[in-house]
Amino acid sequence: MHALFGEFIGTALLVLLGNGVVANVLLKGTKGHNSGLIVVAFGWAMAVFVGVFSVAAISGAHLNPAVSVALAVAGKFAWADVPGYVAAQMAGGMAGALLVWLIYRDHFDSTDCADSKLATFCTGPAIRSLPANLLSEVLATFVLVYAILSMVAPKVSLGAMDALPVALLVLGIGVSLGGTTGYAMSPARDLAPRIMHALLPIRGKRDSDWRYAWIPVFGSLLGGSLAAVAHGIA
């Protein structure tokens, strides 16, 4: 239960700060309005940094169903523990999205663009082409998981700074591969907040784009699993 609570808290922090920076950039009247992809990528990197160092000692800080499944495929995590981790991560993602909405509620109300409101919860393609969008998500998650599996734990712990390599990895993926689909790389980062978008009484919202929702979910799980297989072969 301590591990599951850690995954819940860590994922909630991740989505709170990650979706929070998206809200800061996209919603009308914020201090960071229209500051662009670089700010979003940096904010997500810091979100990963905070989430990972906060709960790494408790749960291992997967914070992502794609990571938990990939670690199980690689034989580094028990399959029996995967459902509990995924459930905790999804619940954390929903909690983080709820907090973003509460914090930015006035800005949601003053923003006219329904697409921008949706984008503060979940990802969407810059150009809608499902094969290309799926490939983007698969490759981004492949890079994420393969690099994580390749990281060697330092012999001397640096405390919170041990989370820095993962944060820099997410920053690199964001600025290099984030322009096509928004680099979800995680059902807990995309599907869980998308569910909250559908449930919350957001003024002037659009549909939650369920026709696209399978892309970040399936793409991240496939990309992570392929990375685990490739790493095992290497």
36: left (phi over 0), alpha (psi -120 to 50) or beta: left
Residue 183 CB neighbour total at 10 angstroms: 29
Rg of the chain on CA atoms, in Å: 17
Q: What CATH topology corresponds to 2-233?
A: Glycerol uptake facilitator protein (1.20.1080)
> For residue 26, what are its two tokens?
């996209």
**What are the two backbone dihedrals, phi and then psi, of residue 213, each rounded to the nearest 5 degrees?**
-60, -30
- What would the two tokens of residue 194 be? 């998308």
The predicted-structure confidence for 132-185, as pLDDT tens digits, reads as follows 999 999 999 999 999 999 986 555 455 556 789 999 999 999 999 999 999 999
- Direct distance between the N- and C-terminal alpha carbons of the chain, in angstroms, rounded to an integer: 34
Per-domain boundaries in the chain:
2-233
Residues 199 and 226 sit within 8 Å (Cβ to Cβ)? no
pLDDT in tens, the chain (234 residues): 799 999 999 999 999 999 999 999 999 999 999 999 999 999 999 999 999 999 999 999 999 999 999 999 999 999 999 999 999 999 999 999 999 999 999 999 999 999 999 999 999 999 999 999 999 999 999 999 999 999 865 554 555 567 899 999 999 999 999 999 999 999 999 999 999 999 999 999 999 999 999 999 999 999 999 999 999 997
**pLDDT in the model for residue 1:** 78
Those residues whose C-beta lies under 8 Å from the C-beta of residue 77, and which sit 6 or more positions away, are: 62, 68, 71
Q: Are 18 and 45 in contact (CB under 8 A)?
A: no
| Cα dist from 145 to 176, 203, 221, 222, 230, whole Å | 16, 37, 10, 11, 10
Residues 52 and 11: beta-carbon distance below 8 Å: no
The pTM assigned to this predicted structure is: 0.95
